[in-house]
Copies of this chain bind each other. A is one copy, B any other.
Amino acid sequence: MSDRNLSEHREDDFAVITLERPDIRNTLSETLLSELGDALRRAGTSDARGVILAAQGPVFSAGHDFRDLNGRDTAAMTELLTHCRKTMTAIQEIPQPVIAQVEGLATAGGCQLVAHCDLAVAGESSAFAVPGGRGGWFCTTPGVPLARAVGRKRALEMLMTGDPIDAATACDWGLVNRVVPDAEVPNATRQLLARATRGSAASKGIGKQAFYEHVDLGMDAAYDLAVGVMAESSQHPDAQESIRAFLARKKRKG
């Protein structure tokens, strides 16, 4: 494992993926993107009930590795950015809840990574930025999930200034779910993920997939999709068991 950029291990029901290149600020090199995509898909097909995405060192991730960018033409850049996009969207495609455990600075593609996670817990000293706009290469792709997390004027402020927002602001704006003292981030992450992974994993996976499919649609199309998914999933043994258990509880009480 020593030549890898990340580690994967299991903690009871959770798959924990940890970026382990603090020496290069956990930049999303091509090899790291491949490893991360593979690790996410591996967790997705495992019996883990939830996935934690963590990182070693003071920088959660600084986004692309500029050494990868050097000398690439448009076609080669498209290839890299598509690779990056596919790794990011793998977070949404796997059935389990994926939570970011943010202890430090998340910039550019690193901020994009946090925006893509289903849930996120951040330490008080962590911060979030999309700095390309104050240089020469505006963070357009990170802006895709960011705008959908924090809204227009706040996304534009981050994208145009490139300056970081602190963790409290990120929480206020909906980019992360919780801010806690730095030392409590691992525990708070596990507590939120434990709550997010109770019940039927099958039902949760169906629900997560349907959520990302309907959330971009107009209300009518969203309901068309949601009613179909909900009706079909009602026949799943876990749903049937929920209904039976509820009625049995009521009968005992009544």
Q: Is A90 an interface residue (CB 8 A)?
A: no
User: Nearest-CB distance from A145 to chain B (Å)?
Assistant: 7
B contact residues around A141 at 8 Å (CB): 223, 226-227, 230
Contact indicator B230/A198 (Cβ below 8 Å): no
Interface members, chain A 73-90 (any B CB < 8 Å)? 73-75, 77-78, 81-82, 85, 89
Q: Size class of A's contact patch?
A: 35 or more
Q: In the docked arrangement, what's the CA distance between A69 and B235, Å? A: 10
A82 nearest CB neighbor, chain B only:
B227
* CB-CB nearest 7 A-B residue pairs: A138-B207, A136-B238, A216-B218, A136-B242, A160-B196, A137-B239, A78-B231
A-B residue pairs in contact (CB < 8 Å), sample of 15: A66-B247, A74-B235, A82-B227, A119-B153, A133-B203, A135-B199, A135-B238, A136-B240, A136-B243, A138-B207, A138-B230, A143-B226, A155-B211, A159-B211, A161-B196
